[in-house]
Structure 1
Amino acid sequence: MKTYSDLIVCNGCDTVYRRPSLARGETARCDECHATLHGAIRLDVDRWLALTVAAAIVYLIANVCPVIRIGLRSQHNEATLWQSAAALAHSAAAPIAVPIAMSVIVVPLLQIALLGWTLAYARAGRRAPGFATAMRLLVALGPWNMIEVALLGVLVSVVKLSGFMEVTPAIGLWAMAALMMLITLITQRDVRHLWDLDLIDSGTQA
């Protein structure tokens, strides 16, 4: 099958361009819809994978450890992200419990897992099984990651509740903040760079 590695297609309007040569930090944009076409590589595979592993560790901490600790008189309670989503499911806000759980818990997990999968193979010079599907999923999942919205919501809740009871940010909240930054770093890289790497197909014998 013939390939056209020197061409690039705009994700916004499907206009075809010849792939530009960019200096470090430069970005090419579509003349028609101004969507980002191509960006110069700022992270190599090793650094990209290292940040993805760090994001996986922080994700685990953010989901296992309590986000906030609430105290009223002699009673105290703690809540993790999972517990918060479950509490929403049993309240008047039940219809938004599933979208929140998807955007804050499930989508970041899928992004980290897919990137880790493809980058681990890329580091070994091979194309991961299901590479094309993984790339499409990563692009599709991008708009559904809302860690920053959840973090803002938690901070607003902390401020509001602090006027009525003792509210202490827990380790899960700091992990969420770190996860937000790491997720941004690893998912804002143009995954199309992975298509351009000279990788051996996993089904091909060395």
Structure 2
Amino acid sequence: MRSTTTEPGEPEPGPHGPAKQACLLICEHCDSVYRRQPLARKQTAHCLRCGAVLERGRRLNCDQLLALTIAAGILFALANLFPVIHISLQGLSNEATLWESVRALAHGRITPIALVAGLAIIFAPLLQIALLIWVLGHARAGRTAPGFGACMRALEHLRPWSMLEVCLLGILVAIIKLAGMLNVSPGAGLWAMAMLTILIILIAGRDVRRLWDELGVTPR
């Protein structure tokens, strides 16, 4: 579904208050301005100039997002408490959690890599989950969370830094490569991280942005 558009850069007629701004969409790629159209569940609005996705029909409501966020918090705890990989050879065995993997990288000359890994697979997802619980918990009660604007902007900035899927792919590649030399098996933490990756993608997407409109908050 393609939304009705005005010419890029053309001023919208009428008042420019919060109610008017809530009816507008701006393409993130070419800055074209559009009037928001109601979308059904599986419909998508595209930019007429560059073809980028402007908006999708909402898939999850606030209650569902909050439930998935709490589930993501539980999975995050499991992914950090239980080993992600088991290695054994000739009676000797070893296992490591995500945090232990980051600590192992911190020794030697690759300490900067440990900092990036810790940010991408531990701190960024943890902060995402905490911020989502904060804003969604208040939104479910019909209130705007204190610091709502800062939290929503932080969530947008954290999205590129949360790289659980990259870590998951790296672990799977390591398991395949080591399988010919050692006895390697995935741990409970790896399964938890795989499910957490899917949940993070679901809850940190465009559905959360609707809170701006639902709570009547004007971005500044």
2:85 to 68, 90, 103: 68
- The answer for the alignment partner of 2:176 in structure 1 is 159
| 8 Å Cα contact 2:84/2:187 also seen in 1 | yes
| Structure showing greater Rg | 2
User: How far apart are 1:91 and its partner, in Å?
Assistant: 4.0
Q: For 2:206, what is the secondary structure of its paired residue?
A: coil
Structure 1 residue 94 corresponds to structure 2 residue 111: yes
Task: State the one-letter code of the partner of 1:112.
Answer: I
2:167 to 147, 150, 153: 150
Q: For 2:207, what is the secondary structure of its paired residue?
A: coil
TM-score by length of 2: 0.84
- The answer for the alignment partner of 2:122 in structure 1 is 105
User: How far apart are 1:199 and its partner, in Å?
Assistant: 6.0
1:115 to 127, 132, 155: 132
Q: Which runs of 5+ in 1 are unaligned?
A: 201-206
Task: State the one-letter code of the partner of 1:109.
Answer: L
More displaced stretch, 156-165 vs 191-200: 191-200
After superposition, where does 1:123-134 map in structure 2 within 5 Å? 123-134=140-151
Structure 1 residue 40 corresponds to structure 2 residue 33: no
User: How far apart are 1:22 and its partner, in Å?
Assistant: 1.1
- The answer for the alignment partner of 1:49 in structure 2 is 66
- The answer for the alignment partner of 2:102 in structure 1 is 85
Q: Which runs of 5+ in 2 are unaligned?
A: 1-15
Q: For 1:128, what is the secondary structure of its paired residue?
A: coil
What is the percent sequence identity of the aligned residues? 52
Q: For 1:126, what is the secondary structure of its paired residue?
A: coil
Residue-pair matches, total: 200
Partner Cα distance (2:71, 2:182) in 1: 34
RMSD: 1.8
| 8 Å Cα contact 1:38/1:190 also seen in 2 | no
Task: State the one-letter code of the partner of 1:160.
Answer: K
